[in-house]
Structure 1
Amino acid sequence: MSFLDTLQRHMDTFNQLQSFEAAVNNLADQVEHCIKQGGKVLFMGNGGSAADSQHLAAEFVVRYKKERPTMAAIALTTDTSILTAHSNDYSFDSVFSRQIEALARPGDIVIGLSTSGNSPNVIDGIEQAKKVGCITYAWTGENGGKLLNVADETFRMPSSETARIQEAHMLIGHWLCEEMDERFS
């Protein structure tokens, strides 16, 4: 497969993201309100989505491009003691829901990244977040998987290819960080 073939698949996916404009603007409004009310954004995912969760939480807490006040965000993928203790004592399927039970408060925003939309621990995390009273988002691939019927809002990236889905997740995540820079600086 040539580089140009991969680039074309990337462009095909990104060209379809224009339809997300209203939804991502709504997400930005909800994040702004959440942060201004003293809430936080919690990110979760597995594998590459775990890394993306950590990346986005860091951009919120530190800064993206502009100097601005810090914004509360947590990646539920970073504490190896919690991840391994919980998975050993209970189940990997509930590793995020347990943390949400401990850390989330009503009005917080929980974003679960899952390219398939079928990650049991992300599904359980979203379900627990809803019980707590959080606003929930799932960022998935094109079919949405089981998360489509669980999260308050699902951003289904227009691709079934993991790499293209993750690239689209990060575009939305980086735009959100850029928008928060503007709103809070």
Structure 2
Amino acid sequence: MPFPFFGDDKSTIARLLSTLPQEGRVEWIGLRPARRQPLLSVPEAEAETDRHLVGDHARPKAGGKRQITLIQHEHLGAVAGFLGMPEPVAPERLRRNLVISGLNLLALKNRQVRIGPEVILEITGECHPCSRMEEELGHGGYNAMRGHGGLTARIVQGGQFAVGDAVRVVQSEQKPAAPPITG
């Protein structure tokens, strides 16, 4: 039976899913200059609308869902913990373009985020680990990354962004908010 002050279960879940007031932060940016080459840590980057990061070897199709990859900063320590490492895993080892802190990235699936003043990404799906994680992290690396591989995104609006830039959820046009819950 639903709680009387919440309404039906579906509207409660919809309201909970739309509540993301936090702001995140870009902690790290990495570019892959060539296939199987080490990632380069850079202080800033340029995202091309519906393409890729300038300087990254990946050339996804226009309209593709994997134009840029993101990983949760808080997961770097979790992955290291699963592997018995004393320090968080260095981001370049995980082969993702952006490391974001302060936001639960999985909660952003199918939503848009603004990075800095210009860039808008649409979070399109999970970025599952590949067998390369065994090579990079050692025995158990693939399984340590399961559930912590990050997300993929499409670049809706390109532009410049930098380490330290804010990451905010783009609020979609919604119906007027329900009255606050009191109790």
Superposition TM-score, scaled by structure 2 size: 0.31
Higher relative contact order (CA 8 A, sep 6+): 2
Q: Give the number of the structure whose residues are more often strand, by fraction.
A: 2
TM-score (norm 1): 0.31
Larger radius of gyration: 2
More helix, by proportion: 1
